[in-house]
Copies of this chain bind each other. A is one copy, B any other.
Amino acid sequence: MAEDRYLEDFSVGQTFRSGAITVRSEQIKWFASQFDPQPFHLDEAAAAASLFGGLVASGWHTAALTMRMIVDSEIKIAGGLIGAGTDELKWPRPVRPGDTLHTVSEVLEVRLSKSRPHQGIVKMRTQTLNQEDQPVLILVANLIVPRRPG
């Protein structure tokens, strides 16, 4: 736990890059069957006839994979990665089978909580990029981060 970060360990402009995940069509279809059962996430032929022109991952699948990459990255916050909410979440382009994704997160703001003096908020922008470094998801999240004890 010695590596866990406290509020004092974050500063504006810090960046964190995650490892990569390759997205497979079976995973796209499975996630969709559970959470977003629409033709363009479930079936290649139906997807070819849709707005997307082929199978694409649910945006919520891309968001969940983004969370996984952030959790596995070096952004280790004492007490865990807990979001108070998001300022922005968008999907500039779809994720397709075979895409390899990674995240790059940048600290936009670090501030003390007014109401809870033992913690603060780190505002972080994460871009999830595909193998051509094109953003597929942009997330600005406000993370609850404890102050260093003592």
Which of A's residues lie within 8 Å of B, judged by CB? 31, 34-40, 50-51, 58-61, 63-65, 67-68, 71, 79-86, 88-91, 144
Contact = CB atoms under 8 A, between A and B. Distances in A.
Per assembly, the copies of the chain total 2
B67 A35 contact: yes
A61 B83 CA distance: 13
A144 to B, nearest CB: 8
B82 A36 contact: no
B82 A51 contact: yes
Given A60-B60, A89-B89, A36 B83 contact: no
B64 A34 contact: yes
Contacts of A36: 64, 67-68, 71
Contact of A86 (B51, B71, B90, B144): B90
A68 B58 CA distance: 11
A50 B80 CA distance: 9
Contacts of A51: 79-80, 82, 144
A59 B38 CA distance: 22
A37 B91 contact: no
A86 B40 CA distance: 20
Contacts of A86: 86, 88-90
B89 A40 contact: no
A126 to B, nearest CB: 13
A85 B81 contact: no
A71 B38 contact: yes
